[in-house]
Structure 1
Amino acid sequence: MSVVSVSHIAKRFGKVRAVDDVSFSVEGGEIFGMLGPNGAGKTTSIRIMLDIFKPDRGRVEIFGGPMTEEKKERIGYMPEERGLYQDAPLERVLRYLAALKGLRGAEASRRLKDYMERFDLYAYRRKKVKELSKGMQQKAQIIATIAHHPDLLIVDEPFSGLDPVNTQMVKDLLDELRRGGTAIIMSTHMMHQAEALCDRILLIDHGKVMLYGTLEDIRRPYMGNTLLVRTPVELPALPGVSATRMKNGTWRLTLEGGATPQSVLESLVAERIPVEHF
Structure 2
Amino acid sequence: MSRPAIPREAERSTRSTPTTIRAGDAAAPRHPYREGMLELHDVTKRYGERLALDHVSFAVGDGRLTGFVGGNGAGKTTTMRIILGVLASDGGTVLLDGAPVGAADRRRFGYMPEERGLYPKMKVLEQTVYLARLHGWAPAAARANALELLERLGLGERTDDTIESLSLGNQQRAQIAAALVHRPEMLVLDEPFSGLDPMAVETVQAVLADVAATGVPVLFSSHQLDIVERLCDDLVIIAGGRIAASGTGEALRTQHGTERWELLVAGDAGWLRQQPGISVVEFDGGWAVFEAESDAAREAALTEAVSRGGLVSFSRERTSLAQIFKEVVQ
Q: One fold, TM greater than 0.5? A: yes
The alpha-carbon deviation at position 268 of structure 1 amounts to: 5.8
| Residue number among 27, 32, 36 corresponding to 2:66 in the alignment | 32
> What secondary structure does 2:59 align onto?
strand
> What secondary structure does 2:220 align onto?
strand
* 2:115 maps to 1:56: no
Match of 1:210 in 2: 244
The alpha-carbon deviation at position 11 of structure 1 amounts to: 0.5
Match of 2:253 in 1: 219
Q: Is the contact made by 1:95 and 1:104 (CA closer than 8 Å) also made in structure 2?
A: no
Higher relative contact order (CA 8 A, sep 6+): 1
The alpha-carbon deviation at position 70 of structure 1 amounts to: 2.0
> What secondary structure does 2:157 align onto?
helix
1:49 partner letter: I
* 2:152 maps to 1:126: no
Match of 1:193 in 2: 227
1:256 partner letter: E
1-structure distance, mates of 2:280, 2:87: 43
TM-score (norm 1): 0.82
2-structure distance, mates of 1:63, 1:145: 21
> What secondary structure does 2:92 align onto?
strand
Match of 2:217 in 1: 183
1-structure distance, mates of 2:46, 2:281: 38
1:99 partner letter: R
The alpha-carbon deviation at position 62 of structure 1 amounts to: 2.3
Q: Is the contact made by 2:152 and 2:207 (CA closer than 8 Å) also made in structure 1?
A: no
2-structure distance, mates of 1:136, 1:254: 45
Alpha-carbon deviations, 1:100-124, whole Å to 9, x = none? 2222311111111111222232322
Match of 1:231 in 2: none
Q: Which has the larger radius of gyration?
A: 2
2-structure distance, mates of 1:93, 1:28: 29
The alpha-carbon deviation at position 61 of structure 1 amounts to: 1.0
1-structure distance, mates of 2:114, 2:327: 23
2-structure distance, mates of 1:31, 1:206: 23
1-structure distance, mates of 2:254, 2:129: 47
Match of 1:65 in 2: 99
Match of 2:296 in 1: none
> What secondary structure does 1:256 align onto?
strand
2-structure distance, mates of 1:126, 1:263: 40
2-structure distance, mates of 1:262, 1:76: 27
Sequence identity percentage: 36
The alpha-carbon deviation at position 177 of structure 1 amounts to: 1.3
Q: Is the contact made by 1:138 and 1:160 (CA closer than 8 Å) also made in structure 2?
A: yes
Alpha carbons of structure 1 residues 107 and 218: separation in structure 2 relative to 1, 3 Å: same
2:152 partner letter: R
Match of 1:256 in 2: 282
1-structure distance, mates of 2:106, 2:136: 11
1:72 partner letter: R
> Which sections of structure 2, spanning at least 5 residues, go unmatched?
2-35, 262-278, 284-288, 290-316
> What secondary structure does 1:37 align onto?
coil
Match of 1:243 in 2: none
Q: How many residues are matched?
A: 245
> Which sections of structure 1, spanning at least 5 residues, go unmatched?
227-252
The alpha-carbon deviation at position 157 of structure 1 amounts to: 0.8
Alpha-carbon deviations, 1:30-88, whole Å to 9, x = none? 01111101110011111111122111111111243222232123210011111110012
Q: Is the contact made by 1:38 and 1:189 (CA closer than 8 Å) also made in structure 2?
A: no
Q: Is the contact made by 1:225 and 1:254 (CA closer than 8 Å) also made in structure 2?
A: no
| Residue number among 113, 133, 146 corresponding to 1:79 in the alignment | 113
Q: Is the contact made by 1:40 and 1:206 (CA closer than 8 Å) also made in structure 2?
A: yes
Please, which moves more after superposition, 145-154 or 57-66? 57-66
Match of 2:276 in 1: none
Alignment RMSD? 2.1
Match of 2:79 in 1: 45
Match of 2:311 in 1: none
